[in-house]
Every structure is written in C-alpha cells, then in structure tokens.
Amino acid sequence: MKTASLHVHLLQSYASEFVADLRGQLDPGIQVSLRDDADGLASCHVLVAGRPQREQLEAAKRLHTLIIPWAGLPPETRDLLAEFPFISAHNLHHNAGAVAEHAVALLLAAAKCVIPFDQALRQGDWTLRYAEPRDAVLLSEKTVLILGYGAIGRRIARICRAMDMAVLATRRTPPYEGDGIAGEIYPPHALPALLPRANCLIIALPLTPQTRELIGANELDLLPPGAILVNIGRGPIVREEALYQALVNGGLGAAGLDVWYNYPRNEEERVATMPTSYPFHELQNVVFSPHHAGLTADTEPLRAAHLAGLLNAAIAGQPVPNKIDLSKGY
C-alpha cells in the first residue's frame, strides 16, 4: 500500500546538481532534507548514509530504513545496526557496471604488460618488444574464476565470455547450475577444487569475517603457474604477505589491484600514503589502482537514479531492493 509521504535525510554532503537530479526523479510525496538540517534528521523515515554515528540513529526517532549509497557494508556500520534491529539496511548497486569494467581493465593491463611497456617506451626503449620469453598472456580460451557472483560478478562474467574465456564462479546462495553466463557456479567450499582450474582469479567479494584472508599462501599455490589475480573486492580478502611473496617468487604471473591494506586517514595523507606495507611498487607485474573502480563521470547521475528507484519503491509500499542481511554482512 502506498504511503502518503516519506521523509529522506541525506547525511553526507552532495553537490547541488546531485540533489536537484534526485528530487526531479522522486515521487511528489517524498521530502528530502540535507546534512545540516537537524530537524530533518529527527523526523526522517529513511537515512542515506554509509557510516552513521550512534547519536544520529538515536536522534532519528522515526527512522526505519538506512540506505548505504554504495555497494558494501562497513564493519562499524554492521556492528552499530545490531543495536537497532528495527532499521532495515540496503545498498545501492549503481556502480556495478563501472566496477566490472575496471576489473576487466586491470585484468587486461596485467595480462598484456601494459604498464611496463608504456613506461619503457616513454623512454624510447623498445627492448621489451623483442624480449624472450614473452610475458604477455593470451586470455582467449583461458579460464577465469570469479569469487562473488553478484551484480558486479555477473557483469564481469559477461565481458569475459565475450572474450572467449571459460567462466567459473562462486556464490554463497543457490542455484549452483550454470546460468548461460558462467558455465559453472559453485558454493564457496568448492574453492580448493576450483583454483587449480583458474588461469585468472577475480575477487568481487564483500569483506566479512568469512572472507577476510580467504586467499592466502595455500590458495595461491593451488593456482596454475603464471595465473593472474585481480582484486576489486577488499584488500584484506587476500593475505598481504602471501600475495607479495607469490608475485616475487613467480607463483603468480601478475596482479591488478584496486583495493588495498593502507588508506589515507585525512586530506594531508592523500599525497603520502603507501597502500601496502610491502614493496609492491618495485614489482613490474602489478597494476596499481587507487580504489577508483566505481568512480566515473557517470557515477553521480547513476547514484541519483538508483537511489530514486529505492525511495520510489518505499513510498509505493513495495519491497525496497538490495536489502542487506546483517548476519552475512552483505
């Protein structure tokens, strides 16, 4: 049943263009208040925020829905929501296409040695063109294993299939038969049997207690020699030292990494924070990316459109999409 009105509070600061775009797509019965409006927070039904504080949730006496304006659930938000069981939490998946494209860009850059070729040729050095054995990898007819077959994982699978790759995938929930995109889909416990088949491993998982350090030295050793790893999930899903050693020792052929282990804590640190405690930057077989996969010129219009879709569903009395299961962490 449609409700007469819905009050939404945006806890973060958004550009005026974003707010205008959002309001233009909303049902007339939806009221939007902005960050500095304390009365708006107190009276809102829906809060749009990734990392709300306890006092903010306590102040929002009418709150029943939290929308995290990206994919994922920060650990501190998960812990806090356990104290507010009447609040339903939801994600936005507006950036699934961008993240999937970025994952495949990292895969291609790592497989084709784009970075070292570029750096050498900028100096007039053509010797890598004539080097033997050749380091660039043909991906066609190879097998990719995608860990996390959700909105992003499925898009990655479509692109890999278009490159004539065989696609394997894991997901926590059935069904486990192939879906026409991934040829084979398995539960997570099948991972040890799948890794030896994977020339490429793409990690698109959320960070949960179950996925933290899911990939360590033993798992990396199961991959075929020269395999390529791409991580667009969260850094700590792969054990930091094990990843570095596998790249140094040749167990892994290459890696493309958009997610890391150290992040700047403030604006000053943005120009002086190494993303890892190990010297990955000395390695030629790693492609660096600053957790930028979901950020494009189209990100904010897509965010507004997807957020409007969730809010319009809420006022129409329909189930709000992308509900998070706090017990699973996603």
Give the 3-state secondary structure of residue 46.
Answer: strand
Least confident of 71-75, 110-114, 187-191, 199-203: 71-75
pLDDT of 1 > 80? The answer is no
What pLDDT is stored for residue 225 in this prediction?
Answer: 95
pLDDT band at 4; cut points 50, 70, 90? confident
What pLDDT is stored for residue 329 in this prediction?
Answer: 86
Question: Residue 304 and residue 226: Cα distance in Å, rounded?
Answer: 42
| Cα 252–Cα 273–Cα 285 angle in degrees, nearest 5 | 20
Mean pLDDT computed over 166-179: 93
What pLDDT is stored for residue 141 in this prediction?
Answer: 98
- Kindly report the CATH number that applies to the domain delimited by 96-288: 3.40.50.720
What pLDDT is stored for residue 168 in this prediction?
Answer: 98
Which of 321, 319, 308, 314 has its CA nearest to residue 26? 308
Say what percent of the chain tops pLDDT 90.
95
pLDDT of 58 > 90? The answer is yes
pLDDT band at 137; cut points 50, 70, 90? very high
Mean pLDDT computed over 46-58: 97
pLDDT of 261 > 90? The answer is yes
What pLDDT is stored for residue 3 in this prediction?
Answer: 79
Judge residue 166's burial from the number of C-beta atoms within 10 Å of its C-beta, 0-12 exposed, 13-18 middle, 19 or more buried: middle
Buried b / exposed e over 39-49, threshold 16 CB at 10 Å, is ebbbbbbbbbb
Mean pLDDT computed over 310-321: 96
pLDDT in tens, 105-133: 999 999 999 999 999 999 999 999 999 98
Least confident of 38-42, 172-176, 278-282: 172-176
pLDDT of 78 > 90? The answer is yes
Mean pLDDT computed over 299-319: 97
What pLDDT is stored for residue 177 in this prediction?
Answer: 87
Mean pLDDT computed over 1-21: 92
pLDDT band at 321; cut points 50, 70, 90? very high
Domain boundaries, the chain: 6-95+297-315, 96-288
Q: Does domain 6-95+297-315 have CATH number 3.40.50.720?
A: yes
Q: Do domains 6-95+297-315 and 96-288 have the same CATH topology?
A: yes
Say what percent of the chain tops pLDDT 70.
100
Question: Residue 270 and residue 267: Cα distance in Å, rounded?
Answer: 5
pLDDT band at 2; cut points 50, 70, 90? confident
